[in-house]
Structure 1
Amino acid sequence: MYKKYVSLDVGDVRIGVAKSDIMGIIATPLEVIDRRKTKAVKRVQEILREQNTNALVVGIPKSLDGTEKRQAEKVREFIEKLKNEIDNLEIYEVDERLTTVSADRILNETNRKGALEKRKVVDKVAAAIILQSFLEQKR
């Protein structure tokens, strides 16, 4: 049975969002939620409905030695808010070490001009990298 997933790269200001295809094989960047302008939990709920899934993959930031810092606590607090607001939610936590660095490198290689433009894209590309690594581990 195939399953579709949505992934989140949760930051203090922005949340990168990606989705998988219906077969759960390929991750694609979807959007960036600006937490200053949008109710993030409500928007995630809408995205899950639009994507017709209840499966959410969330990147947990860790330092290079594998320890978790304050940002990981903030992400887990956001996960708790999601669990409280969204019924039947399946959440998979994934180590997201270096995903933003990888996304940044990919965007530099594709020659995206402008820091502001890159900032708008890097978070959703990081979410896609998180999701793609999750999908590959599942196989």
Structure 2
Amino acid sequence: MRILAIDYGIKKCGVAATDPLQLIASGLETVPTGKLLDWLDEYLQREEVSDLVIGESRALDGVANPIQTEIVGFERKFRRRYPGITLHRQDEFYTSRRARESMLAMGMKKKRRRDKTEVDRIAAALILQDFLEERR
């Protein structure tokens, strides 16, 4: 079974998944937030998923960012829709910055590094990778 991760945003969400052995995290897609549950419906019909990891957004002082209210609402809907999938929170501190640094290290052109959809997808993979490393 796979583990999914979401870098939740007001407009768009980056989504990542592990391989079935839960060893490697890979960015999948960036989905408009309003269509995220529909996207998950389709994905979960094709793939078996045991867990969902959602990035936890906090300010430098540790206080929750305003988007947390949106995330909690999404979690409620998700739990009702998929009670068999375990939800987790993972600190997402600096994942967007780390995503841009990774893109630079991979040699991506500046135009592609500025593409927020690419950054969101990679940030979701970093959230998932951090989760996997903490579990080990």
Deviation at residue 116 of structure 1 after TM alignment: 8.2
The 1:77/1:112 distance shift into structure 2, 3 A limit, reads farther
Deviation at residue 85 of structure 1 after TM alignment: 2.0
SS at match of 1:5: strand
Please give the TM-score of this superposition, normalised by the length of structure 1: 0.87
CA contact (8 A) 1:33 1:40 kept: yes
Which letter does structure 2 place at the counterpart of 1:111? M
Q: Name the stretch that deviates more: 59-68 or 121-130.
A: 59-68
RMSD: 1.8
Which residue of structure 2 lines up, in the alignment, with residue 13 of structure 1? Answer: 11
Percent pairwise identity: 28
Give unpaired runs (5+ residues) of structure 1.
none
The 1:20/1:64 distance shift into structure 2, 3 A limit, reads same
Structure 2 residue 125 is matched with structure 1 residue 128: yes
The 1:63/1:93 distance shift into structure 2, 3 A limit, reads same
CA contact (8 A) 2:16 2:25 kept: yes
Which letter does structure 2 place at the counterpart of 1:108? L
The 1:103/1:116 distance shift into structure 2, 3 A limit, reads closer
The 1:42/1:54 distance shift into structure 2, 3 A limit, reads farther
Which letter does structure 1 place at the counterpart of 2:48? N
Give unpaired runs (5+ residues) of structure 2.
none
Which residue of structure 1 lines up, in the alignment, with residue 22 of structure 2? Answer: 24
Question: What is the number of residues matched between the two proteins?
Answer: 135
Query: 1-side partners of 2:113 and 2:59: how far apart?
Result: 26
Deviation at residue 115 of structure 1 after TM alignment: 5.7
